[in-house]
Structure 1
């Protein structure tokens, strides 16, 4: 059977039999792949610890009829080790990994999604910004790459220049008074500013935002993402929004 090498982000694992695992990975050149890692649950496994969620590895696999098989894994970035030391970062990473798994199709190349997720995990591992901000920025940018880019400075309905005071999930973001429909929210102007900064990765603005603005933005981001995914991201319910114990390094 043909073999291949690629760089992978481990999204999820689950047990198979007594000693094996099925590993779901996002590969830079092949998209989402599910593969069997044989013997990785044995104490003497050479690469079991490398195939954990949030790790970036160079993998060698051979193709199977239903599942591929991992034959080698070399660690490139042990982000999972650092992330698990901070509960806020850990829960944010779990939501990011679950969202990536939902958004990416089997065997379809998703280089932008791969690079975005790798960057988000690096930010969490290095405590570059508050985990909640990293998560919300990742979520907005991931759904934008998937084709559901929100708008925060123009009306999502007619394109009129803002700023606008209403937000509507179905319309795709900010809406003017003419396009506003029943059920639209009315976030703070500062919340629209933060959402725009998170979408464009303007960290100077995002890091300077007030706690109440972040809280409001978080609710809108979660609602927007789950609206377009058409079902909930279970990990979002577990996300710890308290500040990191060490604080973000500026």
Structure 2
């Protein structure tokens, strides 16, 4: 039996048989891994609570033919415990988990930067550093950038001409200048485009000072950009507690 260790975030779980579960993990070194946790649903299980969504764990796993299997789990950071009491943070976190799984699973390759970004975003949620919706928007833009889909909110996405520019066209990859504008472009406010750039760059003083209208507009553009590259939307976004 070949064993290996890796750090992971639990993305989701589902039942397997009478007492087992299949755990979907974002691991640091191996990307998205699906592994069986045997007997984890029994009350006598030694590590059942450590294998819930959001948990940041150190795992020992064995390689199997169709599924790997978990033999040991040690908690690194109990994000699940802290997110359960905050609906806004919890729903934003669920959308982060789904985003990470879709982007990394689609590449079929491990991504240490994606893993590190998810851990940092969950930590920011639990520490209540910023509005949960803003943390989610920033996470999704930066996760897209790591996956090779970085949007442009400064230079024209088609010709590279430096901005600021008025038009946004999701299929083109961001803002467009007057010359490159195409049918279907939207015209968000200059404050919204500035906010999108700040979310992508992690410029939190600028993000935190943004107004509600810009936040709502930016959220719609982020969701559209993510859906375009994933080819369908995220189910969890419908439940995210957004700005009033």
Q: Give the TM interval when normalised to the shorter protein.
A: over 0.9
The answer on 1:152 being equivalent to 2:134 is no
1:38 matched residue in structure 2: 38
Specify every segment of 5 or more residues in structure 1 that has no aligned partner in the other structure, as ranges.
244-250
Give, in whole Å, the separation in 2 of the partners of 1:206 and 1:178.
29
Secondary structure at the residue paired with 1:15? strand
Give, in whole Å, the separation in 1 of the partners of 2:34 and 2:82.
25
Give, in whole Å, the separation in 1 of the partners of 2:209 and 2:148.
29
Secondary structure at the residue paired with 1:18? coil
Aligned residue pairs, count: 243
Give the conservation status (yes or no) of the 8 Å contact 1:7–1:27. Answer: yes
1:233 matched residue in structure 2: 234
2:212 matched residue in structure 1: 211
Report the alpha carbon displacement of residue 125 of structure 1 after superposing the two structures with TM.
Answer: 1.0
1:74 matched residue in structure 2: 74
Secondary structure at the residue paired with 1:89? helix
Secondary structure at the residue paired with 2:172? coil
Distance 1:223 1:185, change over 3 A: same
2:178 matched residue in structure 1: 177
Give, in whole Å, the separation in 2 of the partners of 1:71 and 1:90.
28
Secondary structure at the residue paired with 1:180? coil
Give the conservation status (yes or no) of the 8 Å contact 1:80–1:125. Answer: no
Give, in whole Å, the separation in 1 of the partners of 2:229 and 2:109.
20
1:92 matched residue in structure 2: 92
Report the alpha carbon displacement of residue 30 of structure 1 after superposing the two structures with TM.
Answer: 1.2
TM-score by length of 1: 0.95
1:193 matched residue in structure 2: 194
1:202 matched residue in structure 2: 203
Superimposed CA distance per residue, residues 57-90 of structure 1 (whole angstroms, 9 cap, x where no aligned partner): 0000100000000011000000111111111111
Aligned-residue CA RMSD (Å): 1.1
1:17 matched residue in structure 2: 17
Give the conservation status (yes or no) of the 8 Å contact 2:212–2:243. Answer: no
1:4 matched residue in structure 2: 4
Give the conservation status (yes or no) of the 8 Å contact 1:155–1:174. Answer: yes
Give, in whole Å, the separation in 2 of the partners of 1:133 and 1:142.
14
Give, in whole Å, the separation in 2 of the partners of 1:31 and 1:234.
22
Q: Per residue, is there more helix in 1 or in 2?
A: 2
Report the alpha carbon displacement of residue 242 of structure 1 after superposing the two structures with TM.
Answer: 4.0
Report the alpha carbon displacement of residue 237 of structure 1 after superposing the two structures with TM.
Answer: 1.2
Specify every segment of 5 or more residues in structure 2 that has no aligned partner in the other structure, as ranges.
none
1:168 matched residue in structure 2: 169
2:139 matched residue in structure 1: 138
Report the alpha carbon displacement of residue 108 of structure 1 after superposing the two structures with TM.
Answer: 2.4
Give the conservation status (yes or no) of the 8 Å contact 2:87–2:241. Answer: yes
